[in-house]
Structure 1
Amino acid sequence: MIATIQQFDIDLFLKIHRGLSSGFLDWLMPLLRNPFFWSPLYLFIIIFCFREYKKKGWLLIGMLLLTFGIGDMFSSKIIKPFVMRVRPCNDYTLRDLIIHRVPCGSGYSFPSIHATNHFAIAVFLILVFYKRWKPILPLGILWAFMISFAQVYVGVHYPVDTMAGAILGTTIGCFTYLIYKKTEVFI
């Protein structure tokens, strides 16, 4: 059963990593996974929260930082060292099939920290702002998905790594939203 899932994961990885290869995606996908590319969005969120929500804006930013911190801690410090899955770009059995689009890194693969953190942040923001602005649902999910997909395309994660990160991140985003709802009544 595990071997079947692993083979499916490798096959799907190769279909994305090699099968979708194009000059445009080779240019775009490394950008999408770069945190500096998203800096204007992060800055907009911070300014928006402070401008529109004043004191509650501090709470929102604090909760976003907590959401990010929990996602990062669980995925990188707890799960990755326990699972110890080798990244596809470091897997010697895939050596001749990998297209090196970004530096591989030496860390483990499962789960994707990018997927965990971005799904956690997206879900938290969706839950906070959905009643006020409905388009945040598809935009937030698309944003987190694109970053996760880019991880597979550039060759640093398997699809299951990003799916697990998305599930973990969604759970964390829901959890921190519950904390936010309990805390916001005091502001």
Structure 2
Amino acid sequence: MESLIELDKALLVFLNSLGDESFDFIWLLITDKKSSIPLYIFLLIYSYKKLSTNDFWKCLLIVALLILFGDQISGLFKDYFQRLRPCHDPEINTYIRIVKKGCGGLYGFFSSHATNTFALATFYYMLLRNYSNYFIFLFAWALIVSYSRIYIGVHFPIDVLFGVCFGILLGYIFSLLPSKKYSNNVR
């Protein structure tokens, strides 16, 4: 386990060192939750157009529960494992670029950003994949947001990787919640 943590720290130092000050503002924008609002609005409008009114409201409720559940579980893990974020870890914070002012909470295992973006990407992909092949690009968005957490120095790669895996699992499970298939209720 100790060698895995050392590898994780070395990988963080490497990935974080790939950054450049001239791109920091882009990564800070990407990591900001508000920057994804246009995508969320698009997903809401697209869902509204493709699903029946009843299924749209079910979808909205499921998405709210999905985000709530992902946030709560990642918070419980952070409190249980108490793994310091890289920016709070005195063993490593002098070796990395900490781009974001204000590091966030003390603990970082596992990443809520990675969990929620991959949960949403998986849920919407499962829900809307029959309507368009473009929804696979939601995973590119989720990957970029997740990587931004490493770039700005607030998560270790394992924090992000675990968040990605948990988010995919969560999104898939929540996509199974509706008792009847959405595709039967297309507008």
Q: Considering the TM-score relative to the shorter chain, is it more than 0.5?
A: yes
Map of 2:105 onto structure 1: 106
Map of 2:153 onto structure 1: 155
* Separation in 2, partners of 1:93, 1:86: 10
Map of 2:46 onto structure 1: 48
Give 5+ residue unaligned stretches, structure 2.
Answer: none
Percent identity reads 26
Map 1:69-80 → 2, pairs under 5 A: 69-76=68-75, 78-80=76-78
CA displacement, residues 108-136 of structure 1 (integer Å, 9 cap, x when unaligned): 11000000111111100111111221121
Map 1:113-128 → 2, pairs under 5 A: 113-128=112-127
3-state secondary structure, aligned to 2:176: helix
Map of 1:89 onto structure 2: 87
Map of 1:13 onto structure 2: 12
Query: Residues 56 and 184 of structure 1 are in contact (CA less than 8 Å); yes or no, is this contact kept in structure 2?
Result: no
Report the AA paired with residue 33 of structure 2. P
- The structural deviation recorded for 1:166 is 0.5
Give 5+ residue unaligned stretches, structure 1.
Answer: none
* Separation in 2, partners of 1:116, 1:25: 24
Query: Residues 59 and 184 of structure 1 are in contact (CA less than 8 Å); yes or no, is this contact kept in structure 2?
Result: no
User: What's the Cα RMSD here?
Assistant: 1.7
Give 4+ residue runs of structure 1 displaced > 3 Å after superposition.
Answer: 183-187
3-state secondary structure, aligned to 1:73: helix
CA displacement, residues 35-82 of structure 1 (integer Å, 9 cap, x when unaligned): 111111111222222233232211111111111111111111x21111
Query: Residues 123 and 170 of structure 1 are in contact (CA less than 8 Å); yes or no, is this contact kept in structure 2?
Result: yes
* Separation in 2, partners of 1:60, 1:105: 30
* Separation in 1, partners of 2:130, 2:37: 25
Aligned residues: 182
- The structural deviation recorded for 1:183 is 4.9
What is the TM-score of this pair, normalised by structure 2?
0.91
Tell which deviates more after alignment, 171-180 or 99-108.
99-108
Query: Residues 16 and 151 of structure 2 are in contact (CA less than 8 Å); yes or no, is this contact kept in structure 1?
Result: yes
